[in-house]
Amino acid sequence: EESMEGLNLVTQNDPKNPAAEAYRVIRTGIQFAQAGKELKTIALTSCTPNEGKSTTIANLAIVLTQAGKSVLLIDCDMRNPTVHKNFNLSNKIGLSSCISMGTAVADAVQATAIEGLDALTAGVIPPNPSELLGSERMQNILQRAKEEYDYVLIDTPPVLPVTDSLVLGRMVDGLILVIDSGEIKVEMARDVKNQLVHAGANILGVVLNKVRSEHHGYGYGYYYYYGNDGEKHKKSK
């Protein structure tokens, strides 16, 4: 798995890079999407594994802290947790401990190396992730986190292998779908979007990842961002 050094944290390491600007555009899109309604808990998901979701959520968290916001990153991908690996944190106590054992969130949260960014790792992998994530205690954890942080970003599993993202989608204020433009067919993405909407998710937009640029070819870090209105807001080159 990727370590923090392996993640492409372009927003931290090269903030003038066009890809870093693309993340700031997503941040602006979130701010505009608020439009008078609360938008603090935001989940990121994908259609399938390996579409760049973990790197996207890490960079989005960083640009939010760069705007002076306090951010909690929660790893809800209990079947394949990566936040503790990506940020070099312990995973002995985490979200599963808070839900199943009643551990206080404050005792499980860890500070990352990024100022203003805390993380709640997945914890010990439970046998029943969907049941835990759909519990009333999970809802209480999200509510408590909203009171403590400006934004709560939630790394959820891909939609197609499991139902966890559908369970979480109706609990959060908004959801962003990360799609690998080179791998995912339009029909699959549309089906996933419809599943999320049917489950009660408020889809804020889509990050179309790994977009071909005429100057760069296929490469990590070039994005389209589509708001929920379907309008194309940004392409970075």
pLDDT of residue 3: 43
pLDDT of residue 15: 82
Q: Mean pLDDT over residues 127-156, rounded? A: 91
Q: Mean pLDDT over residues 9-14, rounded? A: 83
Residue 69: other Cβ atoms inside 10 A: 17
Q: Grade residue 233 by pLDDT with cuts at 50, 70 and 90.
A: very low
Residue 165 confidence (pLDDT) above 90: no
Question: Residue 126 has what DSSP assignment?
Answer: P
Burial 15-42 (b: 16+ CB within 10 A, else e): eeebbbbbbbbbbebbeebeeeeebbbb
pLDDT of residue 37: 73
Q: Mean pLDDT over residues 105-110, rounded? A: 95
pLDDT of residue 105: 92
pLDDT of residue 210: 63
Q: Grade residue 92 by pLDDT with cuts at 50, 70 and 90.
A: very high
More confident residue, 237 or 176: 176
Residue 159 CA: distances (Å) to CA of 61, 119, 178: 21, 22, 11
Q: Mean pLDDT over residues 204-212, rounded? A: 74
Q: Which of 79, 80, 126, 89 is nearest to 109 (CA)?
A: 89
More confident residue, 132 or 208: 132
Q: Grade residue 199 by pLDDT with cuts at 50, 70 and 90.
A: confident
**3-state secondary structure at position 19:** helix
Question: What percent of the chain has pLDDT above 70?
Answer: 82
Rounded CA gap, 26 and 61, in Å? 11
Out of 73-82, 123-132, 199-208, give the one with best mean pLDDT.
73-82
- What are the chain's domains? 10-235 (3.40.50.300)
Rounded CA gap, 201 and 186, in Å? 19
pLDDT of residue 211: 56
Q: Where are the beta strands (DSSP E) in 29-172?
A: 41-46, 71-75, 110-111, 117-120, 151-155
